[in-house]
Structure 1
C-alpha cells in the first residue's frame, strides 16, 4: 500500500504530522523527495555530531578550467524530510530518495543552456536586430511558472490575504495526522487542474514544464521500483504539489519510460555541508521556503516538548516568545517589565478566544507586543529581524569532510580557536604575538584563495602595522568553494601557493600583481614572492604610464613596512620600489602637459598620493627624487594653472622655496598679465583646504584682495563658481574668520602702519592730561623719582 504525505518543506506542523503518521503506519519503506544519486548519504543522519540546519551538496567534479554545477538540498530540524530520514534510521526502515538524479539534471541543464546560446548566436547573425528569439517567450514562461504559488490560490479561496498565515492555521498549528494528507492532496489536485488548464501551448513546451514532468516521472518510477522490490507498506514524503501526480502509477508507466529513456548524464559528487537558518527563506533554491525561520523553530521546540496525545500549551508558547522579545528590548536599553509580559499574555489569550483559534500565530504576538510592550509604536526592526531570523549555523561530523583540504581547514580553525558561525563576529589580532600572527597568515591565505569568510576591516594607514581587525561570517556556499579549491592542493597553504603561482603567470596588470605581492607577504607564502617580484619587474619595464605605476606602488609601499612584524627579506622588494619611484619621477613631467581642468585636478591627487607614499617609505634617495620632480614641475611654465598652484604650495610646505619666493609666485599668478581662468585655477590649486594661509598671511591676503578688485564684473561672474568651489573646502569656522577679516577692509599690518602715522604733537598733549588724571610721573620727573627711591632703599 502506498501512503502519500504531501508536506510543505521546512514546516514544523508538517514535520509533526509526518512523525505521527509514521508512528501510526509503521512503513517498511520510506521514499523522500530528493536526488536519488545521494542515497549513500542517508546512513549518516543519526550521527550525534549532526546539528541542523544542514544541506546535501550535489556537484559535478571539480576542474580548474570552470566552476562545477552544484545544487543544495537544505534541511532544518523542523523539516519533514529530515524527521522522516531520522525516523527511518532509528527504526531500521529502508529509506531512499525518489527525485530526478542530479547526474541527469545537470546534463539536461547544460544542453538547454547550449541550445539557448546557439539560438541567440543565430539570432544575432540575422539582419533584423529586433527579431525575437524563437524560444525567448520560454524564459518568460519559466519565470511565470515558478512564480505560481498553489498555497496562495488556496488561501485566496479560503478568504485569507496572507498565504503564510493560511498554511500556518491549516497545517503548522494543528496536531492532526490522520486524513489531513488526503485533504491536502485533494486540494492540490483541484489547484493543479485549474493552473494546468490555463497553460498555453508555449508554456507546455517550456523548459520549466519539461523539467517538472521529468521529475514526477522519476518519482513514479521510484514508486514502481519499490513495489517491485517487495515492499508492502510504502510512505512517500514529498511536496504537496506533487501528490496528485503520484496517484496514478499504471496509466502513466508507458509515457514515463519513454520520457526517461536515453537521458544524458554526467558524473556527480555528493556531501553533507553546514547550512544556516538565514538561507531557509522564500527565495531558497529548494522548493518552498519560509519567511519566519525563528518563529517556526520556536513552534517546533514546543511541539517536541509536548508529549504525544496532549494538547499544546498555547500560553507557554506566548510567554516564551514574549520573554525573548523583552530580553532583546532590554539589551537595546528599552523598558520591558514583567507586568507588561503578563498583560501581553492576557491580551493574546483574549485575541485567540475572539478569533476562535487554539494557538497564537506571529501576527497575534506582534499585535500584543506593539500594544503593550512597545506602547503602540512600530517594533524596532533590528530586534524583530534578530528573532525572526534566529540565525544559526549547523554542524556536520568531521568524519564526513572527506577532502584533505576540508580536514586541514577544520584542523586549523580548531587550533586557532575560530568558530564557523553565521552571525558576524569581530576579532582583533596583535601581530607582535606569535599566535595572532599565525592566525593572521591563515586568514590571509583564505583571502587569497577567494574564500568569502573573513574580511579585513581596518587597514593600517600610518607607520604602525601590528594591529588587524577581522569580521567573520560563515555562509554555506563557502563549503562548496572550499571543495573547488581542492584542485590546487590538499592543504590551505598548498592550495593558496599553487593558485597564486598560476595567477602570477597569467596576470598582465601590474596593479593587480602588486596587490597579489602584498597578499603573499601577508600570508607568508615566501616561495611565491621571488617569482612574483621578478614578474612585476618585467611588466613594469614595459609600462611607461606613471599613474599605473603609482597604483602599483601603493600596495608595495604598504608591504615593505611589514618587515617589523612579518619576517621576510625586503631587499628585492625595496629595489623594485626604488625603480618604480625613479620611473615615476622621470616620466611624470611629460604626463602633466596639455591637461584640461578635470585631468589637472586628478593629476594633482595622484602626485599627492605619490608624495604620501614617499613620506611613508622614509627613504632619503626617494625623497630627493620626489623633490627633484616637484622643482621640475614648478619651473615648467606651460603647466596647468591648478598644478602650478598645487606645486607651489607643496614646495613651500617642504621648504624648497621660502615665503618670499612663494609670495612672488603668488603675485605673478594673480597679476593682470595672466588670464582670469589661469589665475583662478592657480588660486584653487594653491588655496584648496589651506584657509589658514589666508587668515594669517596678510601679504597673501592683500594679493588675493587686489586680484579680486582688479577683475571686471563679467570676469568675476564667470569665475565665481570656481571660487565658490575653492572656498567650499574650508571649514565653517575658517569661513567665518575670513568673512570677519574681509569686513575690516584692511589687514592687521595696515592697522599697524596707520598707528605709526599718528600726529605725535597732539598725542603728547593727550598723554599729559592722562598723567595728571592718573597721578603718573611726567617724563622729566622720572630721574629725580628714581634717585629718591635708591636713597630710601640704601
Structure 2
C-alpha cells in the first residue's frame, strides 16, 4: 500500500479540484478510488452522463424507522466530482471506498440519543476552537479566510496537497492524541470508516499495481489510512449492524449546499466558489475580484441603490489593498465584503447584505435526466402525472388548472369520469408532503363544494422535495399517511385534529380518517379552548359541504360537528374575559362560528349560540371589543331592535365609559356588516357626540382604537362616512369628504405614529 498515490482534498474546494486534475493527468491511474459509500459505485457513471446539471447529491436513507439519512452533495468544482468526470472520460476503473450506507446509517441511528448528540456538539465546538487558533496565528479572524488565502489561492504545482496533508495530520494528532481524551462516537466511527477504506484499497491492489491506483479522500483521513491501522476483515464487517437502506441521486441547490443553511460540510459561498473555479480554469484569478464586485453592483442597481462603475473600480482597489496588508496574492471573500460595505454601502451592511448573499450563495439548482436513479416515490410521481394527464404541466411556467369534482357523465370510462377528483386527491397529497408543484387558489363561495382551482409549476426544487418524500414512504399515498399519522400522534389541539380529518378525506386515506375521528372524540371531552373548538367545527363543516363528492362517508361527522358547535357556544363567555391581545383569536373564532351557522343552519344549534351572543353583547364585565362584535351580529339576525341599537351605542359611548373601552367596543361593533352600519344615522350621531365630549388624554386613548377600526374600511365606505358627517356638521357632503380624504401632513403623520407607543397603563 506504500506505493499507492493518495490525494487529500477538502470537499467543495475549487483549488483542490484544480490540483487533483493536474495530479491525475501526471499519474494517469488505471484505478481511481474515492471517498464515498461503496454501495454507491453504480451511481458514478450516472452522475456525469449527458443531461446532468450540478449541483446534485447522493442521498442514502433508511427505509425503516427511525429515519436516518446521509448526504453527499457535489458542485461542479467538487474535487471528487471532477475526479469522477476524469475517470469516466479516461475509462479508468472507478469506485467508492467508504463504509456502505447500510452500516453507516445503522451506526448513526444507534448514536442518535440526546446524550450522544450533546457530546458530539461539545467536541466539535472544541474542535472549531483549534481551527480558529490556527487562523489567529496566521493573522486572520476566521478560519475560512485563512483557508482561502493559504489554499484556494495557492495554485503552485505540488504545493497544495503536501501542505494540506501536513496540516490535517497535525490537527488530528492535536485533537485525539494530546488535548482531548474523551472524543465522541464520531472518532471511533471514523476509525471504522478508515479500516473499511483500507480494506477496499487492498482489494484494488490485488487487481492493479499500487502505482496505478490513486485514492482521493478527505485530507483528515490521510494519516489514518497511512498509519498501521489494520484493514477491516470479512468477519469484522459482518459484525457491524446494518439498516435497510436505499441510495439515489437527486438534484440539489446552492442554497441547500451553503453552510449558512445548516449543511456542515458545505461552504459559505457556493456561487462565489463557482466564480473562482471558472477563474482558475481560465487562468483569470486576477479578475475574480472585479467579476464578483461587478455582480454585486448589478444587483444593487436593480434595487435602486447607487453602485456606479467608478464605485466598482474603487472597491476592487480597496479589496486588493486589504489583501496585500495580510500578505495575500488575491482578495479573500471577507476582503470583498469589506469593500462592498465601504464603497457601495457607505459603511452600512444592511444596505448591501441582500446583494452580498445573492452573489455569495447564488440560485443554481441542479437537474437530472429521465431514467437516472429513480426512488420509488419518484417513479410513483411519474406514473401519477402520466395517469392523470398532467405531464404537460411539468413546466417552469405557472399554469392554471380548474377542477370539477363531480362525476363527468359524458365520458365512457370511470377513470375519465373522475379524473378531476383523482387530480384533487393527488394535489392534496402533495400539499401534505410539502411538494410545491400545485398551489390551491380560493374559489367563489357558491362553487366551493365542487370546484377547485390550482396553479401548477414544476421547478428543480420540486424534484428535490419528491426525493425527500421518499424518506416517509415508498409511494405518495404511504408517505402522506405517514406524515398525517405522525402529526396525529403528537397532537393535543382539537382544531389540528379536525384539520387532519379534513386532509385525510381530501387525500382519500380511510385509516387515518378513522383514527383521527377517535382522537377528536377523546379531545372533545376535555377541550376548554373556544377558538380551537370553533376552528375544529369549521374544518368538519367544510368537509360536510362536500356531501358525497369525494366518495367518502361523512355521516359520522355530523354528530361531531353538532357537539363541537354546542361546546364552542358554551365556551364563548368564559373566553371573552380576556385582554386586548387575547381577544384577537376569540374575535376570529366568533366570525368562524357565524360562518358555520350560515353553512350548516339546519344541523347546528343556532338558538344556543344566539343566546350566548346575547349575553356577551349586553355585558360590561367582558372584553368590550367582543361585546361590540356580538351586538353587531345581533343586529344582523334581527335579535336587537333599532331602538335598542341607539340606546346601546349611546351607553357604550357615554362620558362615564373610559375612552379606550368605548372606542374598543366601537371597533368590534364596526367590524361586521359595514353597509348596515352606514345606513344607521343614529350611530354616527352618538359617535360624534362621544368624540366631542372627550378631553385630550381621553381622545388620545380613543383614537388608537378608532383609527384601527376605520383602517379596514374601503375608500368608498370612508367617503360615505365623510358625507354622513358633513350632514351632521352642516359643512356639506362634498367639502367634508374632500377635507377628510386629504393626505396627512408630516406633522400629523408623526403625531399618529406616536400613538403606537401610547401608554394605556395595561
What TM-score comes out, normalization by structure 2 length? 0.71
What residue in structure 2 maps to residue 232 of structure 1? 210
- Is 1:401 aligned with 2:384? no
Q: CA deviation at 1:514?
A: 3.8
Contact 1:649 1:686 in 2 (8 A): no
Give the direction of change, closer, same or farther, for the CA distance of 1:67–1:261 in structure 2 (3 Å limit).
closer
SS at match of 1:72: strand
What residue in structure 2 maps to residue 174 of structure 1? 154
What residue in structure 2 maps to residue 607 of structure 1? 590
Counterpart of 2:40 (choices 38, 48, 63) is: 38
- Is 1:74 aligned with 2:57? no
What residue in structure 2 maps to residue 774 of structure 1? none
| Cα deviation digits, residues 497-526 of structure 1 (max 9, x gap) | 898799999999864454245446766x4x
| Cα deviation digits, residues 411-453 of structure 1 (max 9, x gap) | 66794566699xxxx95746369999987764322113x2354
Give the direction of change, closer, same or farther, for the CA distance of 1:621–1:689 in structure 2 (3 Å limit).
same
- Is 1:109 aligned with 2:96? no
| Cα deviation digits, residues 123-173 of structure 1 (max 9, x gap) | xxxxxxxxxxxx8984565444653555x4543343333322322232222
For residues 705 and 292 of structure 2, what CA distance do their matches in structure 1 show? 53
What residue in structure 1 maps to residue 89 of structure 2? 90
Q: CA deviation at 1:332?
A: 1.7
Give the direction of change, closer, same or farther, for the CA distance of 1:148–1:214 in structure 2 (3 Å limit).
farther
Q: Map 1:333-732; keep pairs closer than 5 Å.
A: 333-338=304-309, 340-341=311-312, 358-370=329-341, 378=349, 380-410=352-382, 415=390, 427=398, 429=400, 431=402, 442-448=426-432, 450-453=433-436, 456=439, 474=461, 478-487=465-474, 489=475, 492=476, 496=480, 511-512=495-496, 514-516=498-500, 518-519=502-503, 525=508, 532=513, 543=524, 547=530, 550-558=534-542, 568=549, 583=563, 590-591=570-571, 597-598=577-578, 606-615=589-598, 617=599, 621=602, 626=606, 629-631=609-611, 634=614, 641-642=621-622, 647-663=630-646, 687-690=666-669, 696-697=682-683, 728-731=704-707
Contact 1:103 1:266 in 2 (8 A): yes
Q: CA deviation at 1:112?
A: 4.2
- Which sits farther off after the overlay, 332-341 or 14-23? 332-341
What residue in structure 2 maps to residue 22 of structure 1? 24
For residues 178 and 44 of structure 1, what CA distance do their matches in structure 2 show? 31
Counterpart of 1:279 (choices 256, 264, 284) is: 256
Give the direction of change, closer, same or farther, for the CA distance of 1:659–1:541 in structure 2 (3 Å limit).
farther
What residue in structure 2 maps to residue 147 of structure 1? 128
Q: CA deviation at 1:356?
A: 6.3
What residue in structure 2 maps to residue 198 of structure 1? 178
Q: Map 1:104-143; keep pairs closer than 5 Å.
A: 104-113=103-112, 138-139=119-120, 141-143=122-124
Give the direction of change, closer, same or farther, for the CA distance of 1:175–1:578 in structure 2 (3 Å limit).
same
For residues 179 and 273 of structure 2, what CA distance do their matches in structure 1 show? 34
Q: CA deviation at 1:83?
A: 1.0
Contact 1:52 1:76 in 2 (8 A): yes
- Is 1:330 aligned with 2:301? yes
- Is 1:189 aligned with 2:169? yes
Q: CA deviation at 1:726?
A: 7.9
What residue in structure 1 maps to residue 277 of structure 2? 300
Counterpart of 1:242 (choices 201, 221, 229) is: 221
Q: CA deviation at 1:293?
A: 1.0
Q: CA deviation at 1:24?
A: 0.3
For residues 156 and 535 of structure 1, what CA distance do their matches in structure 2 show? 58
Give the direction of change, closer, same or farther, for the CA distance of 1:734–1:303 in structure 2 (3 Å limit).
closer
Contact 2:537 2:565 in 1 (8 A): no
Give the direction of change, closer, same or farther, for the CA distance of 1:3–1:560 in structure 2 (3 Å limit).
same
Contact 1:514 1:553 in 2 (8 A): yes
For residues 269 and 681 of structure 1, what CA distance do their matches in structure 2 show? 64
For residues 17 and 97 of structure 1, what CA distance do their matches in structure 2 show? 20
| Cα deviation digits, residues 265-304 of structure 1 (max 9, x gap) | 3343222122221233347887643111111100112333
Q: CA deviation at 1:16?
A: 0.4
SS at match of 2:668: coil
Q: CA deviation at 1:52?
A: 1.5
| Cα deviation digits, residues 90-116 of structure 1 (max 9, x gap) | 112222222233333333334445xx6
For residues 488 and 176 of structure 2, what CA distance do their matches in structure 1 show? 55
Contact 1:533 1:572 in 2 (8 A): no
Q: CA deviation at 1:400?
A: 2.5
Counterpart of 1:212 (choices 190, 210, 213) is: 190
Give the direction of change, closer, same or farther, for the CA distance of 1:352–1:163 in structure 2 (3 Å limit).
closer
Which ranges in structure 1 are unaligned for 5 or more consecutive residues? 121-134, 307-311, 710-719, 736-747, 752-794
For residues 734 and 255 of structure 1, what CA distance do their matches in structure 2 show? 76
Which ranges in structure 2 are unaligned for 5 or more consecutive residues? 406-418, 671-676, 712-726, 731-762
SS at match of 2:278: helix
SS at match of 2:243: coil
Contact 2:652 2:665 in 1 (8 A): no
Instruction: Say how many residue pairs are matched.
Output: 674
Q: Map 1:260-275; keep pairs closer than 5 Å.
A: 262-275=239-252
SS at match of 2:49: coil
For residues 82 and 136 of structure 1, what CA distance do their matches in structure 2 show? 31
SS at match of 2:364: coil
Q: CA deviation at 1:25?
A: 0.9
For residues 537 and 221 of structure 1, what CA distance do their matches in structure 2 show? 55
For residues 317 and 499 of structure 1, what CA distance do their matches in structure 2 show? 46
For residues 56 and 622 of structure 1, what CA distance do their matches in structure 2 show? 54
Give the direction of change, closer, same or farther, for the CA distance of 1:332–1:105 in structure 2 (3 Å limit).
same
For residues 94 and 141 of structure 1, what CA distance do their matches in structure 2 show? 41
Q: CA deviation at 1:240?
A: 1.6
Give the direction of change, closer, same or farther, for the CA distance of 1:726–1:138 in structure 2 (3 Å limit).
same
SS at match of 1:380: helix
Contact 2:257 2:270 in 1 (8 A): yes
Q: CA deviation at 1:403?
A: 3.7
Give the direction of change, closer, same or farther, for the CA distance of 1:411–1:315 in structure 2 (3 Å limit).
farther
Give the direction of change, closer, same or farther, for the CA distance of 1:510–1:388 in structure 2 (3 Å limit).
same
